[in-house]
Amino acid sequence: MSNSIKKSNTYRRDRNETEFDTLDKARSLKRRIARYVMNDKKVPKRWRYIEGVKAIDYAIKIRDCVSRANDIMLDPEHFDQEKADERLKYQDYALSYCNILQLQLDDIIEECEGATHDNMAPIIDELIKLIRMTVAWKNSDKNRMGNCKKKS
């Protein structure tokens, strides 16, 4: 068994997390969005509760789905299809919320005088990185699951 499989099957508190971890990226995105929408120059108060809070809520949902998927441990020695399907479901939810968040951020740019593509670019870039990381993670899990099925 390789170290990467062992590492992915340990509880989060026992892992050595890296800056490239999908959960770290989701946490960072949530914090960045919250700071952005609470800035009066970018998102005025009159828009904050209509558009800004929704963006924060979607970022929280993304973080929570990534966390839930990450908490479902897949044991290659005792493959459990139900657990594997549950993990993939939360990864799919995270990706779906990423798409909805992107639409919400577009709405903020359209409706808020201070929000622009330029000052929103770091958030959009981080969201795109998170989407890519989640897709890669999901594909990696599918490959691992396929290998586990073959062993059974």
pLDDT digits (tens, 9 = 90+) for 56-70: 999 999 999 999 999
Phi, psi torsion values for 98, nearest 5 degrees: -60, -45
- pTM, whole model, 2 decimals? 0.83
| Torsion, CA 130, CA 134, CA 135, CA 138, rounded to 10 | 180
**Would you state the pLDDT for residue 9?**
52
Model confidence at 4: pLDDT above 70: no
**Would you state the pLDDT for residue 76?**
75
What are the structure tokens assigned to 80, written together? 């459990």
| Torsion, CA 43, CA 46, CA 57, CA 23, rounded to 10 | 20
**Would you state the pLDDT for residue 20?**
45
Of 134, 15, 146, give the one whose Cα is nearest residue 81. Answer: 146
Mean pLDDT of 87-93: 97
Q: What stretch of H or E contains 118?
A: helix 117-151
Range list of H helices, 18-116: 22-37, 45-47, 53-71, 81-111
pLDDT digits (tens, 9 = 90+) for 18-63: 544 899 999 999 999 999 999 999 999 999 999 999 999 999 999 9
What confidence tier does 73 reach under pLDDT thresholds 50, 70, 90? confident
Q: Read off the DSSP letter of residue 52.
A: I
